[in-house]
Amino acid sequence: MKILLNNDDLNEALYNVSNLGFIPTMGSLHKGHISLIKKSQRECNKTIVSIFVNPTQFNNKKDYKKYPRNYKKDLSILNKLKVNFVYLPRKEDIYKSKRAKKIKLDKKDKILCAKHRNGHFEGVIDIMDRFTKIIKPKKIFMGEKDFQQLYLVKKFIEEKYNTKIISCKTIRDKNKFALSSRNLLLNKTALIKAGNVAKHIFSFKKKIFKKKNIQKIINDKKNEIEKLFNIKVEYFELRNIRNFKSSNKTKDSKIFISYYLNKVRLIDNI
């Protein structure tokens, strides 16, 4: 496994590499990340993983500071997986050049997380644009856990580059909560609660199949979940998975939720 600490290392290592699979991460790796890496190893000749906690996608400085960082453990996981390259860029490697045109989301995309985290997806798209330009991967593997991110990045990158974005299923704990690096900020009781919230939504989604007046049922459920689990729900919405429009049926749709548990913001889609 080659560790690439700057862009000179990167250019040298990737010279002549074709059919490259890329997995961008912010580290504190878990089984969700590992499933993306394994998929890349099955589909591509070589695999590169980046670890970079990207400051521009945090709309809150405190959140950036407390984001879990475990570089040593991450490198040991990646080494065991026999990943070809790990890219650990410095901020200046990524943000050396100024962008000619500012990233702007379409008005219709200012929903869910985009509505509640000002500038977040602009930061994500910007860094994905920069990564794709320097790494030139054939495929980028991204998780459905961050479904809106996957949708927006896919739209931007596939239009601009000859790179495919490959979507990968959400990996859950046996308790059903979606694995996330932010789970390291939660205690055991909170994780059990997160699992119960997910289980509750899975069974709710089955029950509303073919029901009429779904939007009212969804709104009522949002309030019920807040009371039942004593959590602050930021959004709870049923949306179509292809165009993200509000949906009236469960077919081709997912329930998107964001909520705060012990001051940690969690998202899921079911």
Which residues make up the interface to ligand AMP (CB under 6 A)? 25-26, 32-33, 35-36, 142-143, 145-146, 168, 170-171, 178-181
Q: Which residues contact 178 (CB under 8 A, 6 or more apart)?
A: 32, 145, 170, 171, 172, 198, 268
Closer residue to ligand AMP in complex, CB, 157/168: 168
Q: How near is the Cβ of 210 to ligand AMP at its closest, in Å?
A: 29
Quickly list DSSP for 81-135.
TT-SEEE---HHHHHSSPPSS-----GGG--HHHHHSTTHHHHHHHHHHHHHHHH
Q: How near is the Cβ of 201 to ligand AMP at its closest, in Å?
A: 15
Q: How near is the Cβ of 31 to ligand AMP at its closest, in Å?
A: 7
Closer residue to ligand AMP in complex, CB, 33/254: 33
Q: How near is the Cβ of 257 to ligand AMP at its closest, in Å?
A: 15
Closer residue to ligand AMP in complex, CB, 11/76: 76
Phi, psi of 137 (to 5 degrees): -75, 155
Closer residue to ligand AMP in complex, CB, 122/146: 146
Q: What would the two tokens of residue 157 be? A: 């990158």
List the alpha helices (DSSP H) in the chain. 7-14, 31-43, 61-66, 71-80, 91-95, 112-116, 120-135, 147-160, 188-207, 214-229
Query: Which residues are designated catalytic?
Result: 33
